[in-house]
Amino acid sequence: MNPTIEDSSDRMPQWCELLDAVSPALEKLGVTESKRAGLVSYLTRLWAENQRINLFSRKMTPERLIEDHLLDSLLGLSSLPRVEVVADLGTGGGFPAIPLALCRPRTRFLLYEKSPLKCRFLASLADLQLQIEVVGPLPADGSLPREVDLVTARAFKPIAVILELTREYRRRNGAYMLYKARRAKIDEELAAVRGNCQARIQALEPIGEAEERHLVWL
């Protein structure tokens, strides 16, 4: 039996079965069995809300959503430092912050997202027992709260733009863990950064059809 309900626009995919199908990948990424219920709840609400607002492409199948967004976000889980506060930029529908928050319940995530509709959805996830705070748009002065230990971003902006948007945080020697794809594109983005930029590029083992995935540490 195919775990995906045929008319997925009207009916909810069978997320438990779909996650069972990628169980080896979840285990490899460090996701314990106890965390899967939270992931199922998140996917259920994400899929339902996407029928009302555009959180991800409506042409995307449940399998692609899991592979391209959920598992891709969790690629950074084992590398995520044991910090207290993470600021996630351009959170959108919650990637990578919500999957990371579900697996790291002791870490608080500040979610920066400019869309009021997406912010409303993110705020509705608080009852999943997540330590999240929906902040809204990034401040114009490039500052972040002093409690922030690390900045994450995935499918957001080029590196130089991210650093400019958080320039006050960067001046305080703030740390960054940025999800990026091709190494050639990363090198191009780093070359566009003004001033001294010491970066460490960590190659990740891609999930599924992705050719290259990296974390860029600043």
User: Contact 196/158 with Cβ under 8 angstroms?
Assistant: no
User: Contact 147/85 with Cβ under 8 angstroms?
Assistant: yes
Annotated binding residue 90 = yes
Host H or E run for residue 180: strand 176-180
The pLDDT assigned to 209 comes to 76
The pLDDT assigned to 10 comes to 57
The two three-digit tokens of residue 68, written as one number: 């391209």
The pLDDT assigned to 216 comes to 99
Please determine, for residue 185, whether its predicted confidence score (pLDDT) is greater than 50: yes
Residue type, 189: E
Question: Over the stretch 122-159, which tens digit does the pLDDT of each residue have?
Answer: 999 999 989 999 999 999 999 999 999 999 999 999 99
The two three-digit tokens of residue 23, written as one number: 């169980």
- Cα–Cα distances (Å) from 132 to 74, 107, 126, 173, 202, in that order, read 17, 9, 7, 24, 27
The pLDDT assigned to 175 comes to 98
Annotated binding residue 207 = no
Confidence tier at 48 by pLDDT (50, 70, 90)? very high
Name the 3-class secondary structure at 190. helix
Question: Check: CATH 3.40.50.620 for 79-217?
Answer: no
The pLDDT assigned to 131 comes to 96
Q: Which of 179, 177, 188, 184 is nearest to 214 (CA)?
A: 179
Residues 88, 94, 95, CA angle at the centre, nearest 5°? 70
Annotated binding residue 154 = yes
Annotated binding residue 133 = yes
Question: Over the stretch 50-80, which tens digit does the pLDDT of each residue have?
Answer: 999 999 999 999 999 999 999 999 999 999 9
**Which residue ranges make up each domain of the chain?**
15-73, 79-217
Mean pLDDT confidence for 72-92: 98
User: How are beta strands 213-217 and 176-180 bridged, if at all?
Assistant: antiparallel
How much of the chain exceeds pLDDT 90, in percent?
88
Name the 3-class secondary structure at 88. strand
- Cα–Cα distances (Å) from 144 to 105, 156, 160, 162, 184, in that order, read 22, 17, 17, 12, 30
Annotated binding residue 53 = no
User: How are beta strands 213-217 and 150-154 bridged, if at all?
Assistant: unpaired
User: Contact 108/86 with Cβ under 8 angstroms?
Assistant: yes
Confidence tier at 1 by pLDDT (50, 70, 90)? very low
**Tokens 């069972």 sit at which residue?**
20
Annotated binding residue 67 = no
How far is Cα 177 from Cα 109, in angstroms, rounded to an integer?
14
- Average per-residue pLDDT in the chain? 93
Question: Over the stretch 187-212, which tens digit does the pLDDT of each residue have?
Answer: 999 999 988 889 999 999 988 777 89
Instruction: Supply the pTM of this predicted model.
Output: 0.92
Annotated binding residue 164 = no
User: How are beta strands 200-204 and 132-136 bridged, if at all?
Assistant: unpaired
- Cα–Cα distances (Å) from 45 to 12, 19, 30, 90, 201, in that order, read 10, 15, 23, 19, 34
Host H or E run for residue 63: helix 62-65
